[in-house]
Amino acid sequence: MNGTNTQYSVIVPVVGQTSSLDDTLASALREVPDGSEVILVHDGTFEDKYNICEELTLVDARSKRLSSQFAAAFAESNGDVIAFVRPGVELPAGWVDAVEDKFSDPSVASAVPVIVGQAQPDQIVAAGVKSNYHYRRSLVGQGETLAKRVFGRLDPLGPTSWAGFYRRSTLALIGDLNSKLEDQYFDLDLTLTLTAMGYSTAMMPNCVCRVERPAAIFREAKIAHGLSAQRSIARHASHESTFSRGLFSFAVELCSGIVSPGQFQQAMGRLGASRFRAEDRAFAERMVEIIRRKKTIEKTGLRIHEQELSIDARDALEQRRKRRRAA
């Protein structure tokens, strides 16, 4: 990317209280390049009583869900790079240069800033998210001391929903960005999708964001998330291992629940995933088709607009379903 031409869209989602919003917006507006934009997306209840939005774009997503707000704001955005920053997090000075450096590599779809607490700026709150065999989401680097040597062993799958940067063209490939998963899993689902498409993420140790209340990030990470974990298996695990992996994960957590009530709650949450089986299977099939077509295009050296590729993949899937029903 050429730093002189790159446009940015900074998306800030708002749900409920706006007490920590001002500092987040100020940090975004302080360095956003000319021709870029800051988008405030809300659930329809936001009231701009103090005219703080004169320099912003307002988007009403009519939903409190993070993935719905992200999808609605993305549809209205124009930036080559999409920043997603939740209220309470402040972007640091020089964040544009840090992002620009990482996105010079075309294989990079997302970039991970480091988040520290305002009260303890030498201690990492989160440096991205990761997952395991059971598709449990966890924070990377939590509690680590901020030092150059620590970044050599931090290996996040992607950024957290609290602060992250994405290449617009790769997001456009996905098509519908509204995963309808719980807020806690919005970031991991997006990361797993981009990884499956063959893209990588980049760590940004020189982009250190500060969060006013780290407890909010920790509290969200500790919420039992069996439903989203089980749905993630259906959406992202290979088709052959979906049932066995889901059953094994349920059994492990159920047995662990004997000594840990949280694990039992996690296991019980997995039982509700069957309600979303058709939706998650359709997503998995659509992604297989998009990945297949992307690889074909890369082999032939052709270029196609990402949104057209997403639409073509959806239409191809629908045609195959019609043929199966007719047979």
Residue 235 contacts residue 283 (beta carbons within 8 Å): yes
Residues 13 and 15: their CA atoms lie apart, in Å, by: 7
Instruction: State pLDDT tens for residues 66-109.
Output: 999 999 999 999 999 999 999 999 999 999 999 999 999 999 99
Residue 308: the pLDDT is: 56
Residues 107 and 170: their CA atoms lie apart, in Å, by: 10
Contacts of 143 (CB under 8 A, 6+ apart): 123, 124
Residue 261: the pLDDT is: 81
Strand runs labelled E in 6-46: 8-14, 37-42
Residues 185 and 320: their CA atoms lie apart, in Å, by: 30
Q: Which residues of the chain have pLDDT under 50?
A: 3
Residue 52: the pLDDT is: 67
- Domains, the chain, in order of start with CATH, read 8-222 (3.90.550.10), 224-327 (no CATH)
Contacts of 100 (CB under 8 A, 6+ apart): 1, 3, 6
Contacts of 55 (CB under 8 A, 6+ apart): 29, 38
Which residue type sits at 47?
E
